[in-house]
Amino acid sequence: MWLTKAHTSQEAPTSISGSSSRTLLYYGYGDILEARIQYANVENHPERQFRVVVKIKDNRK
């Protein structure tokens, strides 16, 4: 399951993406999430400088 926060039309809108991950963090399940910066451009507007991908860790052995 991937939740992306980006400004392109092919990805989840910024206004709703990440709400699931914020909910999991609020209820103490942050240890099951993994976040990575997928894109960085410091020349962009501050709200669009980074694209972050949050995924649920795979704990299968």
48: which residues sit within 8 A by CB, 6+ positions away?
Answer: 7, 41
Instruction: Render pLDDT for 10-60 as a digit per residue (tens, 0 to 9).
Output: 455 555 555 777 888 888 888 888 889 999 999 998 888 888 888 888 888
- Is pTM beyond 0.85? Reply is no
Q: How far is CA 39 from the centre of its chain?
A: 11
User: Which of 14, 15, 20, 16 minimizes the C-alpha distance to 1?
Assistant: 20
pLDDT for 6 equals: 47
Instruction: Identify the residue with better confidence: 41 or 7.
Output: 41
What's the confidence (pLDDT) of residue 8?
A: 43
